[in-house]
Amino acid sequence: MSMISFAQEFDASIQFRPRYEYRNGYKELIPDNELPTSFISQRSRLNLNFKHEKLSANIKLQNVRVWGDVKTTTTSDKNGVMLFEAWGQYDFNSNWSARFGRQVISYDNQRILGEIDWAQQGQSHDALVVSYKKNKMKLDIGTALNADAENLYRDLYTTNYKNLQYAWFHTVVKDFQVSLLALNTGFQYEDAVTNELETDYLQTFGTFLKYKKSKFNTDLSFYTQTGKSSSNTVFAYNVDLNMKYNFTAKFSTSLGYEILSGKAQNDSSNKVKSFAPLFGTNHGFNGYMDYFYVGNHKNSVGLQDLYLKLNYTAKNWKFSLIPHVFMTAADAIEPLNVTQTMDSYLGTEIDFTTSYQLHKNVGLTAGYSHMFATKTMEVLKSGNRNNNNNWAWVMLSFNPQILSFSK
């Protein structure tokens, strides 16, 4: 007689994350005839994790709502419960594994592929990802195919990308971290002339490099985009350099510069020259007021962002101050005189954030941002630059583990 024991692990946790926001020029300059607004949004999640030998599974159910978006006596929720993640994973051996289902795809500094955790709904993909790990090296190969229903015939799909394939390689060599990304994304559209359904493929290639030694660390990313967009040829690029120095265990500073290519407003060619960060956590870049690349500023004049980060930590407190100086990457044209180029300086944004850890599972964060815009920003974003354009928020994160089991 013999007895075989199989290890099993299961844990469950919940997250409640209400966030108050005061918007007075958030994403765009506030017009003269508009008043600021405020609201409370909330994310509620149930996280279930299971592991047994070579099998792993994860389910995250969530509800995203704005306080008051349904009546107090409602019989149905406005948004309901949705799947944020629902995936299964099989480990073939200690090196190879495959994960399939709804999942977060996030790499490096999340500029191209990220979770977008700031957004209450987050971001996840229906995909298959095969991973290889050995020592300090990792390779992920992923693919996705999207449709909006179990159709009987071919139908136009515009909800998201039609299909996606990518490979991500990462390794560590002493004090260096090196990542390489190759991403191919297919977007479907209907040809205006032939009325045929077409799929254009956009390729994003690049690298993310990070060096860390003692009190100094720096990272550099470079990405290019080629391919087609609505039958137009694409060539765009993105470069980001960030240098950080830790003066003490409590105080650090970073200096950085990023450029995302754009297309001049007097450029009459049909080439696409504006870089698209695609599925990145764009809220974490180019200012927290989300004037750029958070559902906006696409196919525009691009952006240059010169920024400084000052960080201070004291016990359970964290403080951060980040000024940004924004400029266009391509020419903006004076609307009343198309022969005249406008000043490339868009404005300066000041972001201040602070956080306090009340408990290991409870945290409080808050922030205030102010935009000092120029005429060029006003032309690109509309609104009035002379108004008091600011944004403030307070967020509570409540993340207790409610069950943990292993045998």
Read off the pLDDT of residues 346-399 as tens digits, 9 standing for 90 and up.
Answer: 999 999 999 999 999 999 999 999 999 999 999 999 999 999 999 999 999 999
pLDDT value of residue 75: 84
pLDDT value of residue 6: 55
Q: For residue 405, name the pLDDT band (cuts at 50, 70, 90).
A: confident
Which DSSP state fits 29? P
The mean of the pLDDT values for the chain is: 95
DSSP assignments along 232-298, one per residue: EEEEEEEEEEEEEEESSSSEEEEEEEEEE----TT--S--B-----TBS-GGGSS-TT--SSSS--T
pLDDT digits (tens, 9 = 90+) for 18-56: 999 999 999 999 999 999 999 999 999 999 999 999 999
pLDDT value of residue 188: 95
How far apart (Å, rounded) are the C-alpha atoms in residues 85 and 239?
31
pLDDT value of residue 331: 96
Maximum Cα interatomic distance, the chain, rounded to a whole number of Å: 91
Q: What radius of gyration, in Å, describes the C-alpha atoms of the chain?
A: 23
Domain boundaries, the chain: 94-401
Interval 155-172 mean pLDDT: 96
Q: For residue 231, name the pLDDT band (cuts at 50, 70, 90).
A: confident
pLDDT value of residue 3: 40
Interval 262-291 mean pLDDT: 96
Residue 193 has pLDDT above 50, yes or no: yes
pLDDT digits (tens, 9 = 90+) for 49-80: 999 999 999 999 999 999 999 999 988 888 88
Residue 1 has pLDDT above 80, yes or no: no
Contacts of 35 (CB under 8 A, 6+ apart): none
Q: Are 221 and 206 in contact (CB under 8 A)?
A: yes
How far apart (Å, rounded) are the C-alpha atoms in residues 213 and 91?
34
CATH code, 94-401: 2.40.160.100
338 or 1, greater pLDDT? 338
Element (H, E) at 228: strand 216-229
pLDDT digits (tens, 9 = 90+) for 102-135: 999 999 999 999 999 999 999 999 999 999 999 9
How far apart (Å, rounded) are the C-alpha atoms in residues 65 and 42?
5
pLDDT value of residue 201: 97
pLDDT value of residue 2: 42
Q: Are 289 and 347 in contact (CB under 8 A)?
A: no
Q: What pTM does this model have?
A: 0.92
For 78, what's the count of Cα atoms within 13 Å in the CB-facing half-sphere?
10
